[in-house]
Structure 1
């Protein structure tokens, strides 16, 4: 992948180059084998953690990298270029750390953040439920006061890292109906009553464990409440604004991988005496792919720079997630088409890219939800 990047510092350049080297040396040789077995690459995540990639956007005083969000997203793109499962794992872990990092007390940050971002532990973000995906404010998982703590009861669905996560950021109802009755709790490693269910059999991301998690009388102390009681919904939405940028960066990396592979194939594949890239039907398709990817990358960078500057980025994040993941779906579809019949067999990675792209239009808020966010901002005179 040859991409012109802008780095805010020499340190940022070194971080992204290290991510590229690790992706090439540790991810690329394993992806086919692990995807075929449906095995989560936990040791790879530990190596990324040891290199500092599981806490890049969080403060150095707690063991994070202290890097701008734009740099973190460039790292995700490099990882996704080789293996989107690993990039998604880093994105989800970063999302799971967000409530404590942004809304926790100083004592909670001191207690939990160093181990969360230090590389040895992995987090899960538990918001979605079987009966409620996009309508997160209607969640039914409960956290009932019991002495000096809470007892959590309920079921979460489609949880990434189910069964392998060390800690869980959980959104549960502590009050009445609606958004104001939701609170955020951290369930530390070893909390009894956290029961992962059977793994889902998915279209793609086979090496990423996804399942329901049942909270069966999971008891935690009151010090595990993050933010004020009843503020959980706003914490969840703030987390998703940042998380959507992570998924958008994953989409850009995946789309770039598909475009590069299709381009290389089109240069070498000859028909009627010429490389097929010389035919406008193929060459123009590749040109459109490359242009759409560049536009998606620019949207992601713009939203990240807004966030880094402390400005509102909610709409920009929705636009970046919407556009980048739709681009990934189009580009991977066209990459299969460029390869023709070879694109439909697993000897070439574009069929896997195609399957992986689909879920990116769904996670961290479906693209229909992103359109709703954008259209409501327009209706209110923003955007």
Structure 2
């Protein structure tokens, strides 16, 4: 590590200043400032160049050189302040114990300087030997405390920055999971309907053309709705929110169509019926307006549940029961589990469990629960419970705000 430029300039400047003052100022009773005095004066001030990298060495060197300078009988001049400057550096950059030792050394050489001055006397020498090191030490010690506090603040700031980056990564991961759930819900449902209907259309194409035509119409409608929902999702991803929607008509309006909610469950059930599954939709309690995200959560759970019925029990009878209770919304989707040869089953993959995980994650976001399992009387049941009391839930963490 090299000598800091500022410290080097300070050391050279004090050396030159001490030489000029010593040459121009000749008090009575003091020897003239000769070549030896110049050399000793330089040895007093030049060690200050090391005060930033080796402050204690600079202090010891300056004090010893100043003592030799005084012992040679030369006037103290500006060299008096060199040990004090070195002491400040020790107090600012070294431990309290090291700075205390340095203060004692500086006090001793300053006291010797007062005695060597002959006037005004011992009392003044004692006072300056106490006051000067004490004041310099206090300033240096406070500087060290401030530096340590700034270092701690920098560490805290860096830690906060790391936490912010971690939270940002978590937010991105959560958004990716949310998009994955949306894509799963949209594509799985519509593709299941299309798969079942295309299989049925191919099976009855010759024997029942009207049934095949109806199936093809359902395929077209499901395809259009799937594309519309995907377009809406992609547009929202591009613009961030519906408030940023560009002005326009046609597809732009379709992209920002209302987010599906409980009001669209009846339309969803109608599409499922065309796939061969009998669906009954019942509502109990007093319907009321719910947060849009909660409505979407309930709709997606119903959609995923009916999609699973189409996949795994296409001949079953299903029911959707929406209960508006005083402090919660309960949505139950169940089927009787019948699966006969009456309908043509599509070649769909076995359940992966992602849908159920998505249901539970959606419910957790709004402080609710989603349970799924077989019924004792046969079939399968999915039950979603969401709190809708006056206490609002944080959609990010699923807990009431503090």
Q: Same fold (TM over 0.5)?
A: no
State the TM bucket, normalised to the shorter chain. under 0.3
The normalised TM-score by structure 1 is 0.27
Bigger RCO (CA 8 Å, 6+ sep): 1
Structure whose residues are more often strand by fraction: 1
In the superposition, the TM-score normalised over structure 2's length comes to: 0.26
Normalized per residue, the structure richer in helix is 2
Instruction: Please identify the structure whose Cα radius of gyration is greater.
Output: 2
